[in-house]
Structure 1
Amino acid sequence: MTEPVTEFFTGHGGTRLALHRMGAGRPVVLLHGLFSSAQVNWIKFGTAAQLTAAGFECLMPDLRVHGQSEAPHDPAAYPADVLALDAEALIAHLNLTDYDLVGFSLGARTAARSVIRGMRPRRLVLAGMGLEGLAGWAKRQDFFVDVIDRFGTIRPGDPAYVSQQFLKTMNVDRVAARLLLGSMEDTAPAALAAITMPTLVLCGDKDDDNGSADNLAAALLHASRATVPGTHMSSVTVPEMGRELVAFLH
């Protein structure tokens, strides 16, 4: 297996962001989920290895406040859609003109927002995402703000407990994470008309954390649906995730 190589690039406003590269071939940009990292989302469980074996170069940034990327405490570092702005900075840094774009959960939201802003990948994958996760993001955002505000006091049985433990495991900077959450806005279903490329909506069979994947696929012009085993947390750990990505991107 090709080992990932880590480098750094400058995101929006000068923030230093990590990029993990793996493989050679057709470029595919993979955006991880909230409080996760490229290592956990794509590398650890073999998804990137499946893609590289199929002839892709995996380009896997750590989003700001995540992984090895900077987590500034200055509110000015978090303008609206800052993650999409960072994605645009990555595409410009790599001078990409022909590539695919994959996002999981927060990464899917970032990918959708990036395309709405004008990014044009050949193919798009929105994984771990439903229509309500885009159009009703404010409710999801409030959930995570509550996790941060009650961090360390949430007990087993509370719906927020698993998120608290994941936040703890990933050693996320909670001050920066709270600022980042405030940079995200709802996406009106009508805005999805800007997503015109072939799109795969991919979700775990027990994952409804971000709403209905079927509703999201129905709202897109050229969407197909695929399902893998698992919940929102476990679906990124199964080999079926990589298989579905390879099949669609080929």
Structure 2
Amino acid sequence: MMWFRSAFTIFCLQFLLWLTCLSSTGHAEPGNQFDSNGVKIHYLDQGQGEPVLLVHGFAASGVLNWSLPGIIQSLRKQDYRVITIDNRGHGQSEKPHAPEKYGVEMVGDLTRLLDHLRISKAHVVGYSMGAFLTCKMLTVAPDRMISATLGGAGWPRENDPRLNLMTDLAQSLESGNGIVPLLRALAPPERPLPTDDQLQSMSRLALLVNDPLALAAVARSNRQLLVNRSSLEKNKVPVLGLVGQLDPLKDSVDALVGVLPELEVAVIPGADHDTAFTHAQFKSELVEFLAKHRQAASSANRRN
């Protein structure tokens, strides 16, 4: 049950950090907010240098995906300006319940945040759902990207058999049954599946810091993020696919090979979807890739 213990520990760390910050500051993550087409978006902006925008996964937050594993700290040591967004429906950002408020609007949040910060281009790093958002951004706003990193997921494509999962997930959330369908789908097939009671425990803990109806709306908007092959074949942005060997979503990264120009792929041995971003190799591969594509800092990308 190593998968269950690892994932459960990550969720526990998120929840404990959230409680600690809540008691000491009155809110979970100190930072800033801006209006993104009528929705308040929370973000953190740290450091100086070439900008890196970090985009987290479903039912997560900036602190879970990027702060707890030490990724923000690793990037700041390399003199990057690190910007962490709480996607709408997550973290401290506003959580509308209408599906039309999500989908491509979530990609729009990324470009509008860059506009708000007066940043012309950034390295964009996404994990899981954040990787799907980053892949979509490659096709709608490639001029805003220095590079793209697709962590834990790759190509959101029409023929993906998991598309129906998002409908099941939305229905589960709307009926009060949590994110169990997603947890079950992301369990490594090479390992024993956690029991229903264990999955329910993880789901309940995740929902202590999430709005289930907002997450359901995110899930129902999923098809808006689909990307066609011809759009990817035109890509000129350097891309890193960074995924765990045991991640069930690894096939969405593999599918990009031979389709997406400028693609590199790095696989983390023994890692799964819930643990890959906690591995030292995740940080080292990311730092190495960003360094290869670092540009001379321009005034447009510096903090004002």
TM-score of the pair, normalised by structure 1:
0.86
Residue number among 163, 174, 196 corresponding to 1:138 in the alignment: 163
Aligned to 2:140: 117
- Compared with structure 1, are the counterparts of its residues 148 and 242 closer, same or farther at alpha carbon in structure 2 (3 Å cutoff)? same
Aligned to 1:16: 40
Aligned to 1:81: 104
Residue number among 275, 279, 282 corresponding to 1:241 in the alignment: 282
Indicate the larger mover: 215-224 or 198-207.
215-224
* 8 A contact 1:88–1:119 mirrored in 2: no
Q: RMSD in angstroms over aligned alpha carbons?
A: 2.6
Residue number among 120, 128, 147 corresponding to 1:105 in the alignment: 128
Partner-residue secondary structure (3-state), 2:258? helix
What is the Cα deviation at residue 239 of structure 1?
A: 2.0
- Write the mapping of 1:110-189 to structure 2, written as runs, cut at 5 A: 110-120=133-143, 121-131=145-155, 133-135=156-158, 136=160, 138-149=163-174, 151-152=176-177, 157-158=195-196, 161=199, 164-165=203-204, 167-169=206-208, 171-185=209-223, 186-189=226-229
Structure with greater helix percent? 2
Amino acid at match of 2:243: C
Amino acid at match of 1:122: I
What is the Cα deviation at residue 228 of structure 1?
A: 2.2
Q: Deviations over 1:87-130 (max 9, x none)?
A: 12112111212321111111111111122112321111111114
- Compared with structure 1, are the counterparts of its residues 167 and 218 closer, same or farther at alpha carbon in structure 2 (3 Å cutoff)? farther
Amino acid at match of 1:226: A
* 8 A contact 1:130–1:208 mirrored in 2: no
2:249 is equivalent to residue 209 of structure 1? yes
* 8 A contact 2:34–2:40 mirrored in 1: yes
Residue number among 86, 95, 105 corresponding to 2:118 in the alignment: 95
Q: Deviations over 1:164-213 (max 9, x none)?
A: 346325x2111111112222223223321243211100001111236342
Task: Give the Cα separation in 2 of the matches to 1:217 and 1:127.
Answer: 15
What is the Cα deviation at residue 76 of structure 1?
A: 5.0
Q: Deviations over 1:32-70 (max 9, x none)?
A: 011100000001110110011011111010000111101
What is the Cα deviation at residue 244 of structure 1?
A: 1.0
Aligned to 1:40: 64
Partner-residue secondary structure (3-state), 1:211? helix
2:68 is equivalent to residue 53 of structure 1? no
* 8 A contact 1:141–1:181 mirrored in 2: yes
Partner-residue secondary structure (3-state), 1:175? helix
What is the Cα deviation at residue 161 of structure 1?
A: 2.6
Indicate the larger mover: 173-182 or 159-168.
159-168
Segments of structure 1 that go 5 or more residues without pairing to the other structure are none
What is the Cα deviation at residue 150 of structure 1?
A: 5.3
Segments of structure 2 that go 5 or more residues without pairing to the other structure are 1-28, 185-193, 292-304
Tell me which structure has the larger Cα radius of gyration.
Answer: 2
Task: Give the Cα separation in 1 of the matches to 2:243 and 2:254.
Answer: 9
**Aligned residues: percent identity?**
26
* 8 A contact 2:124–2:147 mirrored in 1: yes
* 8 A contact 1:30–1:59 mirrored in 2: yes
Partner-residue secondary structure (3-state), 2:236? coil
Q: Deviations over 1:112-171 (max 9, x none)?
A: 11221123211111111144x4442623423422441454486953599377346325x2
Task: Give the Cα separation in 2 of the matches to 1:45 and 1:149.
Answer: 31
TM-score of the pair, normalised by structure 2:
0.72
Indicate the larger mover: 204-213 or 98-107.
204-213
- Compared with structure 1, are the counterparts of its residues 81 and 39 closer, same or farther at alpha carbon in structure 2 (3 Å cutoff)? same
* 8 A contact 1:147–1:160 mirrored in 2: no
